[in-house]
Amino acid sequence: MLKVFVDTAAWIALLNVDDELHEQAQEIISELRHRRVRLITTEFVLVEVADALSRPSMRSHTVIFIEGLRQMTLLRIIPVSQSLLIDGWDFYRRRPDKDWGLTDCTSFVVMTQEKISQAFTSDHDFEQAGFTKLMARH
């Protein structure tokens, strides 16, 4: 089964109707569901989503959205673990030439471990790390 990693940018675009990538993200998630692609994300990514959409006007929508993600049968959420944090930190530490955040580094570790080449994201850091991103800013 094909697997795609879902990054913060995709979740935010799906949840936030005002996001410039909302329509594109809706089209991509529909196609991935239609093809029954296995989606992978991490608790680290969901923390970023909750942090980005924490203002009171968005908070209840964010809570409902993230709790709904936990019910998706095609989505696997990789839990926060000390070993993933250590591996992500090691990746972060070894790339002083990049401005990749720690969450992205943990995502790269998961993608490598899971043999995932595609990321549902608009974040260019994923391309820099050698992965294919599925969303593009116009």
pLDDT tens for 23-66 read 999 999 999 999 999 999 999 999 999 999 999 999 999 999 99
- What is the arithmetic mean of pLDDT over 100-126? 97
Contact indicator for 4, 32 with CB cutoff of 8 Å: yes
114 Cβ contact list (under 8 Å, min separation 6):
3, 5, 40
What's the pLDDT score for residue 126?
97
Confidence of residue 138 (pLDDT cuts 50, 70, 90): low
Residue 7 predicted with pLDDT over 70: yes
Counting residues of the chain whose pLDDT is more than 70, the rounded percentage is 99
Residue type, 121: T
Query: What does the pLDDT look like over 81-104, one tens digit per residue?
Result: 999 999 999 999 999 999 999 999
pTM above 0.85, yes or no: yes
* Residue 74 · residue 40 · CB < 8 Å: no
Structure tokens at 71: 């019910």
* DSSP secondary structure string for all residues of 40-87: EEEHHHHHHHHHHT-SHHHHHHHHHHHHHHTT-TTEEEEPP-HHHHHH
Closest CA to 14 of 44, 43, 52: 52
**pLDDT value at position 91?**
96
Predicted local confidence at residue 121, as pLDDT: 97
Task: Calculate what percentage of the chain has a pLDDT beyond 90.
Answer: 96
Q: Which one of 3.40.50.150, 3.40.50.20, 3.30.565.10, 3.40.50.1010 gives the CATH number of domain 3-133?
A: 3.40.50.1010
Contact 63, 25 (CB under 8 A): no
